[in-house]
Amino acid sequence: MNGNMVQALNLALEQEMLRDERVVLLGEDVGVDGGVFRVTEGLLQKFGDARVIDTPLAESGIIGAAIGMAVYGLRPIAEIQFMGFVFSGFNQIVSHAARLRNRSRGRFTVPIVIRMPYGAGVKALELHSESTEALFCHIPGLKVVVPSSPFDAKGLLIASIRSDDPVIFLEPKKLYRAGRQDVPENDYEIPLGTAKVVREGEGLTIICWGAMVPQAQEAADAVEKEEIFPEIIDLRTLSPLDHETIIQSVQHTGRALIVHEAPKTCGLGAEIAALINEKALLNLEAPVLRITGQDIVVPLPKSEDYYYPSPARIVRGIKKTMEF
C-alpha cells in the first residue's frame, strides 16, 4: 500500500483484528464515525459493534473499562480523542494500568494500547495541541511510543498491540496526512524500545521524535551547504528509551541537540541530556542543547508558530552547538 499515516494505522488495526479476535476497539466516535481523524474508518462495518465500541463521552470510563477487559483476556485498544483530554482518565492509567501487573504479582496484566493524537501544528482549538509525553514516561509500568512515518506507524502499532504491557501510543496529528510512503501489506513489528538513525552524519546528533523528525530533517538539509551533516535519531519509543543508540551516536559525533515540542522544563530532553551526561560526558565537545516548546500554554492558532520548534530555530541550535 502507498499511503499516509492514517491509512497505515487503519491497516494495522484491521490486520491485528483479523489475526487476533481478542483485539477490540473502544472510544468516542470510533465506530460509526470512524474516529474524528478516521483512523478507525470502516472497522465497525468489518468487525461489528461487539469489537468496535462507540462509548459514552467519558475518558476514565473508557480507560477503566479497557483495563477490566484486558484482565478478562481481551486486548483492548482505547482511543482518546485528543491528548489534551486524557487527564480525566489519567488516574486509571497511572494508578491502575501501569501498576496492576506489579500489584497482582503478575497475575493480572494490562495489555492495552491507548491511542491518542497529540501535538501542535494543525491550528486546533485550546487543549487540542498538547504534547505531555513526559508525564507518561515518568510512570513505571507504561511504555510510550511515537511514530513519525506511515511505515513506522504500522510496525509500532502492531508491536504495541502485541505487547503485554500498557502502551501509550501517541500519533502526531501534523503527520497524519503529511506524506505517503510504501507500507507493506504483510504484518511486521518494529520492536518497542528501539530508536532509529534516520540520517547518518558527523559532528552532531539531533535526537527527536514524532512531528519534530521532519522539522529536524529540514534543518539538517539547510545546514548542508555549510558543510554540517548532523546525524538524526528518531527515538520512536520514549519509554523505555533506547540508551544504546543514543549513546553510541553521541560517542561518535561528540555533540547532541535535543528537539521536542513539549515545554522545556522536565521535558524528555532533560532526561536525555542527563543520560548523555552520565554515559558520554567525556565524548562531548559542546554542552547538550535543547530546542523545545517554551514553558507556556500552547498558544491558539494565530500564535502557534512561535511555540512550535521551527527548522530555523533548530538551525540556530545546530550552529550554536557546532560553534561552541
Partner 1 sequence: MLQILNEKGDVKEDLEPKLSAEDLKKLYSFMVTTRVADTKALKLQRQGRMGTFAQSLGHEACQVGSTYALGKNDWTVPYFRDLGTYVTLGFPLKYWYLYWMGNEEGMFIPKVFNLFTITVPVGTQLPQAVGLGLAANIKKDRIGVLSIFSDGATSTGDFHEALNFAGVFKTPNVFLCYNNQYAISLPRSKQTAAKTIAQKAFAYGFDGVLVDGNDVLAMYVATKEALDKARNGDGPTLIEAYTYRRANHTTSDDASKYRSEEEVKAWEKKDPIDRFRIYLKTKGLWDENFEKQVQKDAEEQVEKEVKEAEATPSPLIEDLFSHTYSDMPQKLKEQMDELKAGLSEDDQ
What is the signed CA dihedral for 169, 171, 172, 173, rounded to 10 degrees?
-150
Position 55 contacts partner 1 (CB under 8 A): yes
User: Is the Cβ–Cβ distance between 168 and 143 less than 8 Å?
Assistant: yes
Cβ closer to partner 1: 116 or 228? 116
Annotation marks residue 96 as catalytic: no
How far apart are CB 110 and partner 1 at their closest, in Å? Answer: 10
Q: Which of 25, 30, 44, 74 binds partner 1 (CB under 8 A)?
A: 74
Cα distances (angstroms) measured from residue 22 to each of 28, 74, 113, 139, 314: 20, 5, 13, 26, 44
C-alpha cell at 99: 501498576
Determine if 56 is a binding residue for partner 1 (CB under 8 A). yes
Among 277, 313, 276, CA closest to 294: 313
Residues between 268 and 307 that touch partner 1 (CB under 8 A)? none
Please say whether the beta carbons of 248 and 200 come within 8 A: no
Tell me if 197 sits within 8 A of 229, measured CB to CB. no
Check residue 178 for interaction with partner 1 (CB under 8 A).
Answer: no
Contacts (CB under 8 A) with partner 1, residues 203-242: 240-241
Which amino acid is present at 15?
Q
State the minimum distance, in angstroms, from the CB of residue 265 to partner 1: 22
- Which residue from 115, 128, 143, 290 is in contact with partner 1, where contact means CB under 8 A? 143
**CA 163, 169, 171, 172 torsion-angle sign:** negative
Q: Examine residue 71 and tell whether it contacts partner 1 (CB under 8 A).
A: yes
Q: Is 24 in the site for partner 1 (CB under 8 A)?
A: yes
- Residues annotated as part of the active site: 128
Q: Which residues bind partner 1 (CB under 8 A)?
A: 24, 50-51, 53, 55-56, 58, 60-61, 63-74, 76, 88, 91-92, 95-96, 100-109, 140-141, 143, 163-165, 193, 240-241, 243-244
